[in-house]
Amino acid sequence: MKYSIRKQFAYIFIGLMAGTILLCWFINNTFLERYYFHNKQTVVMDAYNQMNAAAQKGSISSDDFDIHLQQLSARYNISILVLDEDSETIRVSGGDPAILKIELWNHVLFDSAEGSEKLYPDTPEPKSGPGGGKASKYEENIITNKTLVRNDSPFYIVQLVTSNRVSMEYLDMWGFLDNGNLFFIRTALEGIRDSVDIANRFLAYVGIAATVASGIIIWIVSKKITDPILELAHISERMTHLDFDARYKGRSFNEIAILGNHINQMADTLEVTISELKTANNELQKDIERKNEVDEMRKEFLSNVSHELKTPIALIQGYAEGLKEGINDDDEESRNFYCDVIIDESGKMNNMVKKLLTLNQLEFGNEVITMERFDIVMLIHNYIQSAEILIRQNDATVHFEQDTPVYVWGDEFKTEEVFMNYFSNALNHLDGERIVDIKLTQESKTVRVSVFNTGIPVPEDSLPHLWEKFYKVDKARTREYGGSGVGLSIVKAIQESMNQKYGVVNYENGVEFWFELEKVTDR
């Protein structure tokens, strides 16, 4: 595959490995020699400090310090020479004493530069050094002699010396210790370059081998990653053709295995869903067959609306004509009665139209249901408080003893409308002890709100029809308080829009209407 993840994995990791090794090689090649040289300078200065400390203590001639000096010379590959005031050798380590002494005197005679006359005022012109004829040989032997560090108190010089005779570079340090002894420290720098070259070659060999080995390992590992992905791709392709028998069979516990298990679950779910869709299609055929029934229901609805509006319109028309004809012009009480009837009937019509509009929006899904978390106990208390006047007018006793907040999920405004319909029905059908009892029953996932009122139970044959539009058990009594038979239909539409249950229960001394809401559970 051109865009294979396996190849991308391999190329990326091999590139990172090779780039890291090349970067390390470049850093080694550029800075390792400088680091070694700086380290050599540090070693030489450390050796000087140890010798100077021993000279101050007077232990430079001791056997213990001689052993320490030998160890220092062997560990860091340096040559050390210490002379007393009579040019006699006190300590020597890591080289030929005669050669080291010659090199030291060459430095003293020819490299002290401006300070040589001050240091040795009685020394003749250096035409020949100790050993005779060495001056000219020294000058021919040295190509460069670069002073790196020069200190006057105590006096010492650190120099980079290039030898023409052996084509090598040395790091030399010479001067005087605090007790007046002359010292000389030399270390060859050629080993640094050899070490750097060897380190770079070794790093290159190891890097090439590591890159090849890593490439092979990454190729194998990426295959273990991409093979399950290819298997999942094959399964998904079969699923696009509605073949849900394909299953992922990996036994690992990584993310790909989790994805495979989810795909298996999705296949099961899709199979069930498609089965349900086929069932729904059959139901749709039945729904089409019910189209005629819906048309009949529409005709019935129009007939019911016409019937409900006919009476108030006739009353309004009759009393309005009476006012226009001037019936009982001199009787102000009659005129007020006519006006009150007109206002009352128009108010009933307005209320019924509003309820019909609300019901229509709910049934056709035009009303937006906003699910929110709210306290049903506070909603009930607030409504009871706002309906205090109606309660007194109906001489009712309302019982609601719940004070602890109970939080539910639902549309708070619509829920209040459901409770309002139940509560107003309870007030309008009160009888006997005239008690309205409101209760909350909490289950594991739901909260049931019930509104009970004392009075005459609903006839059993009327219970299934209570939720139908314009259905009235006692039409005369309903007309008395302005009921339109739409309130319970609105309750039904609201509860179904929130996918919650509702119902009614008959008792010997009254009727209980109830509805349920989803309970907010603590997590």
In angstroms, the CA 487 to CA 352 distance is 9
pLDDT surpasses 80 at 77: yes
Residue 406: per-residue pLDDT: 93
Write down the pLDDT at residue 260: 76
Q: How many Å apart are CA 119 and CA 435, to the nearest integer?
A: 125
pLDDT for 452: 95
Q: Which of 467, 454, 477 is nearest to 502 (CA)?
A: 467
Question: Which three-class secondary structure state does DSSP give residue 35?
Answer: helix
Average pLDDT, rounded, for the chain? 77
Q: Tens digit of pLDDT for each residue in 347-376?
A: 666 666 666 666 566 655 556 678 899 999
Question: Which residues partner with 171 through β-bridges?
Answer: 160, 187
Q: Where are the beta strands (DSSP E) in 46-112?
A: 79-83, 89-93
Q: Strand 397-399 and strand 142-152: pairing?
A: unpaired
Q: Who has greater pLDDT, 46 or 29?
A: 46
* Predicted pLDDT at 213: 82
Contact (CB, 8 A) for 156 and 174: yes
Parallel/antiparallel/unpaired status of strands 89-93 and 79-83: antiparallel
**Measured distance CA(181)–CA(52) in Å, rounded:** 9
CA distance 108 to 182: 10
Whole-number pLDDT of residue 293:
59
Please write the tens of the pLDDT for every residue from 251-260. Answer: 666 677 777 7
pTM of the model: 0.38
CB count in 10 Å sphere of residue 485: 20
Q: What is the pLDDT of residue 118?
A: 37
DSSP track, 299-347: HHHHHHHHHHHHHHHHHHHHHHHHHHHTTTTT-HHHHHHHHHHHHHHHH
- More confident position, 447 or 31: 447
Distance CA 468, CA 226 (A): 61
pLDDT given for residue 504 in this prediction: 92
Which pLDDT score is estimated for 310? Answer: 58
List the one residue out of 448, 419, 455, 451 whose CA is nearest residue 437: 451
Better-scored residue on pLDDT, 50 or 146: 50
Q: Which residues contact 186 (CB under 8 A, 6 or more apart)?
A: 78, 79, 95, 100, 103, 170, 171, 172, 173
Give the separation between CA 62 and CA 59, rounded to whole angstroms: 5
**In contact, 158 and 172? CB cutoff 8 Å:** yes
pLDDT (tens digit per residue) in 422-473: 998 899 889 889 999 999 999 989 999 999 999 989 888 888 888 887 676 6
Query: pLDDT class for 18, splitting at 50, 70, 90?
Result: confident
> How far is the C-alpha of 242 from the C-alpha of 302, rounded, in Å?
47
Percent of the chain with pLDDT over 90: 14
Which of 229-238, 303-312, 338-347 shows the lowest per-residue confidence on average (mean pLDDT)? 303-312
